[in-house]
Protein backbone atom coordinates (compact mmCIF):
# COMPACT_ATOMS: atom_id res chain seq x y z
CA UNK A 1 0.00 0.00 0.00
CA UNK A 2 1.30 3.45 -0.88
CA UNK A 3 2.66 5.50 1.98
CA UNK A 4 -0.28 7.49 3.29
CA UNK A 5 0.02 11.23 3.04
CA UNK A 6 0.37 13.02 5.39
CA UNK A 7 2.09 10.54 7.65
CA UNK A 8 0.54 9.25 10.86
CA UNK A 9 0.81 11.26 14.02
CA UNK A 10 3.55 9.23 15.60
CA UNK A 11 6.94 10.81 14.97
CA UNK A 12 10.22 9.31 16.13
CA UNK A 13 12.20 11.45 18.59
CA UNK A 14 14.80 13.70 16.97
CA UNK A 15 18.33 12.32 17.17
CA UNK A 16 21.21 14.66 17.97
CA UNK A 17 23.33 15.06 14.88
CA UNK A 18 20.44 14.44 12.50
CA UNK A 19 19.07 17.66 11.01
CA UNK A 20 15.34 18.01 11.67
CA UNK A 21 12.81 20.67 10.85
CA UNK A 22 9.43 21.44 9.34
CA UNK A 23 7.67 20.78 6.13
CA UNK A 24 4.62 23.05 6.13
CA UNK A 25 2.20 21.92 3.43
CA UNK A 26 -0.10 24.88 3.02
CA UNK A 27 -2.35 22.90 0.63
CA UNK A 28 -3.81 21.06 3.64
CA UNK A 29 -3.84 23.94 6.09
CA UNK A 30 -7.33 24.67 7.39
CA UNK A 31 -6.36 27.98 8.98
CA UNK A 32 -7.32 26.90 12.48
CA UNK A 33 -4.35 28.64 14.17
CA UNK A 34 -3.85 25.81 16.63
CA UNK A 35 -0.16 26.20 15.81
CA UNK A 36 -0.16 29.82 16.95
CA UNK A 37 -1.90 28.98 20.19
CA UNK A 38 0.11 25.85 20.97
CA UNK A 39 3.34 27.74 20.36
CA UNK A 40 2.35 30.61 22.61
CA UNK A 41 1.25 28.29 25.35
CA UNK A 42 4.28 26.05 25.31
CA UNK A 43 6.84 28.80 24.94
CA UNK A 44 5.13 31.33 27.17
CA UNK A 45 4.99 33.84 24.34
CA UNK A 46 2.94 36.81 25.45
CA UNK A 47 -0.24 38.27 24.06
CA UNK A 48 0.90 41.55 22.65
CA UNK A 49 -1.42 43.16 20.18
CA UNK A 50 -5.16 42.76 20.34
CA UNK A 51 -6.29 44.61 17.23
CA UNK A 52 -8.48 43.91 14.25
CA UNK A 53 -6.01 44.05 11.40
CA UNK A 54 -8.45 44.14 8.50
CA UNK A 55 -6.59 41.42 6.61
CA UNK A 56 -9.10 38.61 6.13
CA UNK A 57 -8.99 36.31 9.16
CA UNK A 58 -5.42 37.27 10.03
CA UNK A 59 -5.18 39.37 13.17
CA UNK A 60 -1.63 38.32 13.97
CA UNK A 61 -0.07 40.13 11.04
CA UNK A 62 3.44 38.74 10.73
CA UNK A 63 6.17 36.90 12.59
CA UNK A 64 7.74 38.75 15.50
CA UNK A 65 9.16 38.26 18.98
CA UNK A 66 5.59 37.64 20.13
CA UNK A 67 4.35 35.60 17.19
CA UNK A 68 6.55 32.66 16.35
CA UNK A 69 3.97 31.01 14.15
CA UNK A 70 1.82 33.16 11.92
CA UNK A 71 -1.02 31.89 9.77
CA UNK A 72 -1.46 33.93 6.61
CA UNK A 73 -4.83 34.23 4.88
CA UNK A 74 -4.98 35.21 1.22
CA UNK A 75 -8.35 35.53 -0.52
CA UNK A 76 -8.00 35.23 -4.26
CA UNK A 77 -10.53 35.64 -6.96
CA UNK A 78 -10.13 32.90 -9.55
CA UNK A 79 -10.25 33.20 -13.30
CA UNK A 80 -13.44 31.12 -13.44
CA UNK A 81 -15.19 33.52 -11.08
CA UNK A 82 -14.71 31.33 -8.07
CA UNK A 83 -12.67 32.16 -5.04
CA UNK A 84 -9.69 30.53 -3.38
CA UNK A 85 -8.53 31.06 0.19
CA UNK A 86 -4.89 30.29 0.71
CA UNK A 87 -3.69 29.63 4.24
CA UNK A 88 -0.14 29.06 5.37
CA UNK A 89 1.55 28.83 8.74
CA UNK A 90 4.77 30.82 8.52
CA UNK A 91 7.66 30.23 10.89
CA UNK A 92 11.37 30.90 11.32
CA UNK A 93 13.23 29.22 8.49
CA UNK A 94 16.11 27.88 10.62
CA UNK A 95 18.43 28.64 7.73
CA UNK A 96 21.42 26.42 7.17
CA UNK A 97 23.40 29.60 6.74
CA UNK A 98 21.63 31.80 9.22
CA UNK A 99 22.11 35.55 9.02
CA UNK A 100 20.91 36.06 12.57
CA UNK A 101 23.40 33.56 13.90
CA UNK A 102 26.25 34.99 11.80
CA UNK A 103 25.81 38.53 13.00
CA UNK A 104 24.96 37.90 16.64
CA UNK A 105 27.82 39.50 18.60
CA UNK A 106 27.11 37.86 21.97
CA UNK A 107 26.85 34.32 20.70
CA UNK A 108 23.32 34.22 22.09
CA UNK A 109 22.16 32.69 18.81
CA UNK A 110 23.63 29.28 18.27
CA UNK A 111 23.06 26.17 16.22
CA UNK A 112 21.82 23.17 18.17
CA UNK A 113 22.68 19.54 17.81
CA UNK A 114 19.47 19.23 15.78
CA UNK A 115 20.81 21.77 13.26
CA UNK A 116 18.21 24.29 14.39
CA UNK A 117 18.84 27.93 15.27
CA UNK A 118 18.04 29.11 18.78
CA UNK A 119 18.30 32.44 20.65
CA UNK A 120 19.40 32.10 24.24
CA UNK A 121 17.13 34.61 25.91
CA UNK A 122 19.36 34.91 28.96
CA UNK A 123 22.42 35.90 26.92
CA UNK A 124 20.94 38.23 24.30
CA UNK A 125 21.46 41.87 25.18
CA UNK A 126 19.05 43.19 22.59
CA UNK A 127 21.55 44.77 20.20
CA UNK A 128 19.07 44.32 17.35
CA UNK A 129 21.51 43.16 14.69
CA UNK A 130 19.67 39.90 13.95
CA UNK A 131 16.51 41.91 13.30
CA UNK A 132 18.02 43.77 10.37
CA UNK A 133 20.03 40.84 9.12
CA UNK A 134 17.23 38.28 8.73
CA UNK A 135 16.17 38.10 5.06
CA UNK A 136 12.74 36.77 6.11
CA UNK A 137 11.83 39.39 8.69
CA UNK A 138 11.41 36.82 11.44
CA UNK A 139 12.91 38.42 14.53
CA UNK A 140 11.99 41.48 16.50
CA UNK A 141 12.89 42.62 19.97
CA UNK A 142 10.34 41.96 22.69
CA UNK A 143 9.45 45.30 24.22
CA UNK A 144 6.88 46.74 26.55
CA UNK A 145 5.48 43.43 27.77
CA UNK A 146 4.91 43.97 31.46
CA UNK A 147 4.01 40.36 32.05
CA UNK A 148 7.35 39.06 30.81
CA UNK A 149 10.09 41.23 32.39
CA UNK A 150 12.73 38.52 32.11
CA UNK A 151 12.64 38.59 28.32
CA UNK A 152 12.09 42.30 27.93
CA UNK A 153 14.41 43.89 25.39
CA UNK A 154 15.55 40.55 24.05
CA UNK A 155 15.29 39.21 20.49
CA UNK A 156 12.93 36.24 20.25
CA UNK A 157 11.92 33.72 17.62
CA UNK A 158 10.90 30.14 17.13
CA UNK A 159 13.27 27.71 18.84
CA UNK A 160 11.85 24.72 16.96
CA UNK A 161 10.88 23.78 20.52
CA UNK A 162 14.44 22.91 21.43
CA UNK A 163 13.34 21.82 24.86
CA UNK A 164 10.73 19.46 23.42
CA UNK A 165 13.22 17.98 20.96
CA UNK A 166 15.62 17.39 23.79
CA UNK A 167 12.84 15.53 25.55
CA UNK A 168 12.07 13.30 22.58
CA UNK A 169 8.92 15.22 21.59
CA UNK A 170 7.98 17.01 18.42
CA UNK A 171 7.47 20.79 18.38
CA UNK A 172 4.24 22.07 19.89
CA UNK A 173 2.89 23.42 16.61
CA UNK A 174 3.44 20.17 14.73
CA UNK A 175 1.87 18.29 17.58
CA UNK A 176 -1.20 20.51 17.61
CA UNK A 177 -1.76 20.73 13.87
CA UNK A 178 -4.88 18.63 13.26
CA UNK A 179 -4.34 18.00 9.55
CA UNK A 180 -0.56 17.57 9.79
CA UNK A 181 -0.06 20.53 7.54
CA UNK A 182 2.92 21.15 9.81
CA UNK A 183 5.08 18.08 9.58
CA UNK A 184 8.16 17.56 11.67
CA UNK A 185 10.96 15.11 11.11
CA UNK A 186 14.38 14.49 9.59
CA UNK A 187 14.91 16.90 6.74
CA UNK A 188 15.80 14.21 4.21
CA UNK A 189 12.51 12.47 4.85
CA UNK A 190 10.57 15.71 4.69
CA UNK A 191 12.26 16.76 1.49
CA UNK A 192 11.37 13.50 -0.23
CA UNK A 193 7.80 13.76 0.97
CA UNK A 194 7.55 17.37 -0.14
CA UNK A 195 8.80 16.54 -3.60
CA UNK A 196 6.33 13.71 -3.92
CA UNK A 197 3.53 15.94 -2.72
CA UNK A 198 4.19 18.72 -5.20
CA UNK A 199 4.47 16.15 -7.98
CA UNK A 200 1.11 14.71 -6.95
CA UNK A 201 -0.47 18.16 -6.97
CA UNK A 202 0.91 18.92 -10.40
CA UNK A 203 -0.49 15.63 -11.65
CA UNK A 204 -3.88 16.75 -10.32
CA UNK A 205 -3.60 19.89 -12.37
CA UNK A 206 -2.66 22.18 -9.52
CA UNK A 207 0.29 23.69 -11.26
CA UNK A 208 0.39 26.68 -8.93
CA UNK A 209 1.85 24.47 -6.21
CA UNK A 210 5.53 24.94 -5.58
CA UNK A 211 8.11 24.16 -2.94
CA UNK A 212 9.92 26.91 -1.11
CA UNK A 213 13.28 26.37 0.58
CA UNK A 214 13.04 22.61 0.14
CA UNK A 215 16.09 22.55 -2.04
CA UNK A 216 19.37 23.59 -0.47
CA UNK A 217 20.57 24.80 -3.81
CA UNK A 218 17.83 27.09 -5.11
CA UNK A 219 18.38 29.80 -2.55
CA UNK A 220 21.25 31.74 -1.04
CA UNK A 221 20.91 30.42 2.49
CA UNK A 222 22.12 26.89 1.85
CA UNK A 223 18.70 25.43 2.43
CA UNK A 224 16.53 25.69 5.51
CA UNK A 225 15.11 23.73 8.41
CA UNK A 226 11.65 24.91 7.40
CA UNK A 227 10.40 24.12 3.93
CA UNK A 228 7.01 25.02 2.55
CA UNK A 229 4.59 24.01 -0.12
CA UNK A 230 3.03 27.22 -1.41
CA UNK A 231 0.11 27.80 -3.74
CA UNK A 232 1.20 31.23 -4.96
CA UNK A 233 4.35 33.26 -5.39
CA UNK A 234 6.43 33.70 -2.26
CA UNK A 235 5.81 37.45 -2.28
CA UNK A 236 2.10 36.84 -1.74
CA UNK A 237 2.98 35.23 1.60
CA UNK A 238 5.50 37.96 2.64
CA UNK A 239 8.36 35.66 1.69
CA UNK A 240 11.41 36.84 -0.28
CA UNK A 241 12.17 35.43 -3.73
CA UNK A 242 15.73 34.16 -3.92
CA UNK A 243 16.74 34.99 -0.35
CA UNK A 244 20.43 35.23 0.42
CA UNK A 245 22.32 35.42 3.69
CA UNK A 246 24.30 38.70 3.72
CA UNK A 247 27.31 36.80 5.11
CA UNK A 248 27.87 35.39 1.65
CA UNK A 249 28.99 38.88 0.63
CA UNK A 250 30.90 39.64 3.83
CA UNK A 251 34.33 39.09 2.31
CA UNK A 252 33.71 41.65 -0.39
CA UNK A 253 32.36 44.14 2.17
CA UNK A 254 35.49 43.81 4.31
CA UNK A 255 37.48 44.10 1.13
CA UNK A 256 35.85 47.43 0.40
CA UNK A 257 36.46 48.46 4.00
CA UNK A 258 40.13 47.57 3.71
CA UNK A 259 40.42 49.60 0.52
CA UNK A 260 38.65 52.52 2.13
CA UNK A 261 40.97 52.37 5.12
CA UNK A 262 43.88 52.21 2.74
CA UNK A 263 42.58 55.24 0.93
CA UNK A 264 42.30 57.08 4.22
CA UNK A 265 45.91 56.25 5.07
CA UNK A 266 46.93 57.43 1.66
CA UNK A 267 45.01 60.59 2.31
CA UNK A 268 46.83 61.12 5.57
CA UNK A 269 50.18 60.56 3.92
CA UNK A 270 49.27 63.00 1.21
CA UNK A 271 48.03 65.54 3.74
CA UNK A 272 51.35 65.44 5.54
CA UNK A 273 53.50 64.95 2.51
CA UNK A 274 52.24 67.98 0.71
CA UNK A 275 53.06 70.21 3.54
CA UNK A 276 56.72 70.70 4.08
CA UNK A 277 57.80 72.94 6.79
Q: Which of residues 120-179 bind other proteins (CB under 8 A)?
A: 123-129, 131-143, 152-155, 178-179
Quick check: 61 and 69 in contact, CB under 8 A? no
Region of 163-171, 188-196, 206-214, 241-249 interacting with other proteins (CB under 8 A) = 241-249
Smallest gap, in angstroms, from Cβ of residue 205 to other proteins?
Answer: 12
Binding residues for other proteins, rule CB under 8 A, total: 127
Region of 161-169, 184-192, 205-213, 238-246 interacting with other proteins (CB under 8 A) = 238-246
212 phi, psi to nearest 5 deg: -135, 120
Smallest gap, in angstroms, from Cβ of residue 264 to other proteins?
Answer: 5
The residues facing 183 across adjacent strands are 23
Q: Is 77 helix (H, G, I), strand (E, B) or coil?
A: strand
- ∠ CA 258-245-134, nearest 5°, is 110
Burial class (CB in 10 A: 0-12, 13-18, 19+), 246: middle
Nearer to other proteins, 22 or 48 (CB): 48
Q: Is 84 helix (H, G, I), strand (E, B) or coil?
A: strand
- Give yes or no for residue 31 binding other proteins (CB under 8 A): yes
- Give yes or no for residue 44 binding other proteins (CB under 8 A): no
Q: What part of residues 50-79 is at the interface with other proteins (CB under 8 A)?
A: 50-62, 64, 72, 74-75, 77
Q: Beta-strand (E) ranges in the chain?
A: 20-25, 69-77, 83-91, 109-111, 117-119, 140-141, 155-156, 182-186, 210-212, 226-230
- Give yes or no for residue 228 binding other proteins (CB under 8 A): no
- Give yes or no for residue 256 binding other proteins (CB under 8 A): yes
Binding mask 200-219 for other proteins (x = CB under 8 A): ----------------xxxx
Amino acid sequence: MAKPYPPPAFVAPAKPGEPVGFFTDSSICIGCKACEVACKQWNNVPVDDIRYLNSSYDNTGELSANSWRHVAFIEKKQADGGVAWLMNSDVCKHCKEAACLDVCPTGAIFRTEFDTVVVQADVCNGCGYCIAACPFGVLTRREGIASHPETNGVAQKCTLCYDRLSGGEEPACAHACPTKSIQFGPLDELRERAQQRVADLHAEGRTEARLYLADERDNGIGGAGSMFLLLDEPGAYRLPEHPVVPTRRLKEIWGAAAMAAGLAVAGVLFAFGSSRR
